[in-house]
Structure formats: structure tokens, C-alpha cells
Amino acid sequence: MLQSLADNPAFMWAMVIFLGLCFGSFANVLIWRLPRKQSIVTPPSRCPGCSNLLKWYHNIPVLSWLALRGKCGYCKTSISWIYPTVELVTAALFAAFYARYGVSWTTLGFWYMSLTLVAVFFIDLEHQIIPNSLTYPGVIVGFATSIVSSHLPWHQSLLGAAVGAGIFIGVAVLGRFLFKKDSMGGGDVKLAAMLGAFLGVGRILLVFVFSAAIGLVISLIAMAVSEKIRRDRVIPFGPFIALATLLVAFYGEQIVDFYVRHFLP
């Protein structure tokens, strides 16, 4: 029975999307609680407005938000559109990695990486921090994934973690020297180490290049349209790293191949 279900593509895709939505709901817990130094296990979910415990049917990913029209089931406090967005994005990433790697340890590893990147994106965007509780376990999971899967040799995982951390430490030191203030946080360094463990040396170098390019473009646009950003010049780098990582994970080889064919002699 179980084998027949596993051989059913429609069932497998439904399970992948269901898991992605459920873990997206968990990502919302991480995004809300980790910056506030709250336990991610207890207490059960509450409305931030009225503090009432949510019923199980208030917590169905995406569907509950739609059914309640983006409001608390008790006090009618508005619930941000970010919650269903996080759930849908996580489900989409789960589906994308499953489409590429199928049922494998590699898929499980990249699912973990996806969940972490989604949480990092929104936490750093709002609070300008990247919690160690996300990145430290990620280094271990990235290295463990290289051992049990074939997508990356274990020594490349270790080297990738070291190179990733080293590059971002170098940028932080150089930025401090040139601008007399911190230009790269310690959380970015630890995130780079985690991603290096998942991606290896070549890909983490691409992540650095692409994150810098994305960051430059978006920062220039943000400063052009926002007086506050132009004045404060505080733009978190974690979201750029997250976007660059996903770009490299799915299209890194194609981008490099395009560059070599069209721009190198």
C-alpha cells in the first residue's frame, strides 16, 4: 500500500506541497519568536492582539488566513499578508528542490536550507539580525548532507564552509577599515559558513558575487526612493544572500556557462 502511494506522482507532489506549507507555518513561528528570544515550542500559538490561544482550524496554512479574511478569529485584528506568503514561498521551494533531486537526502538537506533562508530573509529584513540558532545547526546539517548524499563530497562541504566564512570576514574587516564602521555583521559570516557547507567552494563564491550585485542594485534603488534609508544607510545583507543562494542553487551553472561563452575570449 505504502509503496503504491510512493509510486503515485500525484500523491508525492501533494505530500511535498503539504509538507512545504506546514514547514512554512513553522517558519512563521521562527520569524516571530527567535528575534524576541522566545521558545519555538511553547506556548502554543496565540493572537498577538488579544493573546487568545488559536484553535487548530485557525492554523491551517494559507486556508485559515483566506477563510478569516486576514483577521484574527477572535478579536478581528489584522493578520499580515506575510504569513501566507512565507507558507507559499516555502512550499514552492520544497517543490522546486523535489523536482530537481527527487526523493533523496539531497532534497531533505536543501529543504532544511530553504526553511532557514526563508526565516533569515524576513528576520534580518525586520530586525537586522541573523540568529545563531538558525546558522549553527545549518552548518552541521549541510556537512551531514554531504556525507549521506552524492551531490557534494564531504571535504568540499568543509572547505566551502571555511571559504564562505573567510570571504565574509574579509569583507567585514575591509569595510571596517575603509568606512570606520561595521559593514558586515557576524550573522552574515555564520550564514555564509552554513551555505558553504551546503554548496561547496565554487557555489559559495558565486553566492558572494551575486549577493553583492543584488545588494548594490536594490540598495541604490532603495536609497533613491527612501529618505530614511538614504539617511540611515542601514540595509540588511541577509536577504541578498538568501536570494543569491537560491539563484545559484538553481541556475548557477547556467549563468557561469553563459558568461564563459559570451564574455570570455
**How many Cβ atoms from other residues are within 10 Å of residue 117's Cβ?**
27
What SS3 class is residue 235? coil
pTM for this structure? 0.90
Residue 4: predicted pLDDT: 59
Euclidean distance between CA atoms 32 and 41, whole angstroms: 12
pLDDT of residue 166: 93
| Contact in structure between 249 and 210 (CB atoms under 8 Å) | no
Q: Which of 38, 28, 235 is nearest to 118 (CA)?
A: 28
Check: CB of residue 163 under 8 Å from CB of residue 204. yes
Task: Please give the pLDDT value at position 102.
Answer: 92
Evaluate whether 199 touches 152 at the Cβ level (below 8 Å): yes
Neighbours of 234 (CB within 10 A): 8
Packed helices 82-101 and 105-127: angle between N→C axes, nearest 10 degrees: 150
Q: Do 172 and 131 meet the contact criterion of CB atoms below 8 Å apart?
A: no
Q: Output the pLDDT for position 264.
A: 65
Low-confidence ranges of the chain (pLDDT < 70): 1-7, 178-183, 226-234, 264-265
Instruction: Give the 3-state secondary structure of residue 53.
Output: strand
Provide the pLDDT for residue 246: 96
Contacts 24+ apart (CB under 8 A), 23-27: 23/90, 23/94, 23/111, 23/115, 24/61, 24/86, 24/87, 24/88, 24/89, 24/90, 24/91, 24/118, 25/59, 25/61, 25/87, 26/115, 27/86, 27/87, 27/90, 27/115, 27/118, 27/119
How confident is the model at residue 2, as a pLDDT? 44
CA dihedral 157, 33, 211, 112 (to 10 degrees): 30
Cell matching residue 161: 564552509
What is the maximal distance between C-alpha atoms in the chain? Answer: 66
Tell which residue, 65, 68, 59, 94, has the closest CA to residue 81: 65
Q: What was the pLDDT predicted at 137?
A: 96
